[in-house]
Structure 1
């Protein structure tokens, strides 16, 4: 029975061919041909069948980068340049480029953060979302390298951004652009401007003669300075008053960033009981150490150059206290990425200085050696602090080392006798002054009073010899 199937199939095909040939010139043949022909609409609109269309964007052209676009600015690999805004007469405006990508906004943000960090850009400000309710939300990342400042403004979805408004799509393009594609588009702008003053070197010694006014009113941290005149030192606790007076006479208690002298001959307010900031203490620490050890260059803290990569994201090269704070970081005296502390990326210059940080930064300048290992029990047994467990482990080592300095320990000189260290308590200006009044180990240290006596003796031309400063000096002697 299976052998009969090929015969039947052959006969059917033969009958079909005879029928077609018989009506080749008839109207039935034309109808049959039309029914089997391809749909002419598919020729005019291949997209209807899912085929790519060559006429979707007849007016689309590629926009080239500006000729002055800096090669050091990273370009997101999946982004397409949409618009270039010509520079304006305003030198702070710079050039603005608008880009789009189908990638999510967090991918764009992550790309630029990594590129800037890996290529030694200075992060001026981290991405911060605009105020709640803004449409659309925008994240802004600002970075600087030498005199080039770049602002990346990232937003998700279509619409306008903080720099350039995006034109509404035309009906023709809207018809060819699926709604889902527009909703997933990320737009961002790159604004770049070169600031000639950003990378300007600081005034050198050869410029002092041509710029006497600037050099006379501004001192670098740690450099010789004119004595400070304060009218309210009497408001300081009596036990700390002499420390403030000695340091003011040395000219190291600058209240303004960069050592700017705002106090007149009539004096200014020191506000000894006011909380000191981390920035101010770092400035005093460097200035006092370098002034007290003016005749010992090997014990001075080197001020950092503005050419180095900042150790902290919130202390850029342009910060007036950058040389002192960066110098402390490069000397390993304060925790930073340079000491392997991955969490110390921010210095928080305007935050209050705490007791534990006062000791942590100061004690290494006294011992001039590695801090000992410490435990809570060891600190309790030596100092008798009931709250030793509240102190950070790093600071705990400095607290224990400070005990070895006997009566010249910073804790005794600053806080007196106490069974509570209160490590997180803010420090006052008078207390900070007491801490930086003396440097060194017991029996071989130098005080601000010693430094003043040495200065007076050196300024006397009739002096035959300069006696060594007494390591046991105290403000009451």
Structure 2
């Protein structure tokens, strides 16, 4: 019975197909084809079966914008760089008590992308960066431009509901800005005691302060009136801030800042400065330092470190001294420092019995081996050890030890014995190539001057500055 039913079904299908084939080109066939065709409206409005369908009134207009409703303030400074892939989330408008605007942003990009963006964009847009993160994992940038103070905070955030194979973190970005004048007025309860030449210069004790400590009473008297006495000379660099220290190698920036706060990194001699009205706040950390500049810095740094120990200070030469070098006459602006180093034996000359050192070549670049020859004796304060090429090669592992001047081998070996306070380790890190004839940069020279002495018996620029400030307060 079942067999006959199945045969009847197959026969009916065959008759139907034959009929359809016969009427393909007929009106009946076309009507049947249109009735069985898919609805063309589904192409533009697909329907997912099983999904909850909303009334037409609740459906989103395809032309409707999906931008966030939070908008930037109308007076948002156009000079502030905005990270391209960040969306604004919140704006805290300025209040009467604090003229500061805070904007909060969110980005799906990692924090190192955003930190790298601001590390490049701020200096290139003429912002003076006074603080920046030590690495790109997050942190705070503080910068100023004209009368605008800017703070950019970058903070990674965890995303607990991230989908599989999607980033598990987001980055929150806070951009705060306010005029410098407002900040200064609020910070200083006594406007009459402000330094009008640079209201926003960081003060001693602030990690961003750069420049020598101004002696007590040189700016204001105890009664709050200005001191106009000529007994205290005006130090221009006390209110000067180097604006390009962020260009120095990151490992050396801390050393440079500490030494600069002692006021010993003058970019020009005092005599030249007195004859010129132009001033500069550029340190140019990656520029090669000349032998003249290094002599000036070396004397100033040593004497600042040992301000209370006269026996360890380098004596400046008198104007009547017979020049040790034929190319550094008495009229040279740095004669007193260069001549003083020659008379102390820190620079080889005719005075030390070296008949080949007739010229000092003050404007020639300082080399690495020359740096060590003059700095290490001020660390050890004793006779340097006997050294050879093999001894330096075995201790330091320098592949180019044979290229080092024999006179510099003793200083380099003694520097190795100074352990973690070694100048080479502090300035150049780990290296198997010393490159003795390579010029020294300003940043490297400043880092070498950060510490004087041996392990356990020395002083750093940080400690010297604290001592100077303590004595000034007393």
Q: TM-score under structure 1 normalisation?
A: 0.49
